[in-house]
Amino acid sequence: MGERPGRPAMRRALVVRGGWEGHVPVEATGLFVPELAAAGFEVTVADDLEVYADGPLLAGTDLIVQCWTGGVLTAEQEAGLVSAVRAGTGFAGWHGGLVATFDGSHDYLRMVGGLFLHHPADFLTYDVVIDPAHAGHPIVAGLDDFTVETEQYWMLTDAHNEVLASTRFVSPETPMPVVWTRRWGRGKVFFSAVGHRLEDLRHPTVYELTRRGLIWAGR
């Protein structure tokens, strides 16, 4: 049955979740599935990385939200995912679900723009500062700087990222991006480093910028 005349086709979102259970992938993604639906996405959930080898499915997907910490992508899965994003499928997620995973998949890491290296053993209270140069970006527009108490990620990143918010490590004193976007071919990528626990994602500012980031990344 076709779309009703005058009614725009629904966009399609694919939520891929699994890996290390410490990042509660089912519960964490469950926070945002209703938001995606409210934004006009038809949402499909996959608990298996083999979905990335399904070329026709990915070609018809406007947004992939991934929460998968650890694990290994096969060459076919990596190629399928990276090719889909290059062709225009959005890719988005948070914390270890994007940057503490698939560390042997170099094309994947180049696409995401960062790799987790370290966090202090204890949770830290730290400030996240919106970059004034990007304060008008739709992901952070109208949001204030904020404070969280959680893991503070030290990451390798590259200059292709558009950093919307950052923090500063105390020892050694080092600035570190927290929220970034980037383009990969025709696809948009969104990442936020905050999201170790459900409590982190429920922080009002973190929740709002994450919600906006997921929707922004969609084609």
Find all residues with CB under 8 Å of 37, minimum gap 6, and list them: 43
In terms of phi and psi (left: phi > 0; alpha: psi -120 to 50; beta: otherwise), the region of 210 is alpha
Query: For tokens 């899965």, what's the residue?
Result: 77
Residue type, 211: R
CA 197 to chain centre: 15
How would residue 2 be classed by pLDDT, with cut points 50, 70 and 90?
A: very low
Q: Which tens digits make up the pLDDT trace of 42-71?
A: 999 999 999 999 999 999 999 999 999 999
Query: For tokens 């952070």, what's the residue?
Result: 140
For the chain, the residue count is: 219
Mean pLDDT, residues 126-151: 98
How would residue 9 be classed by pLDDT, with cut points 50, 70 and 90?
A: confident
Q: Which tens digits make up the pLDDT trace of 166-179?
A: 999 988 899 999 99
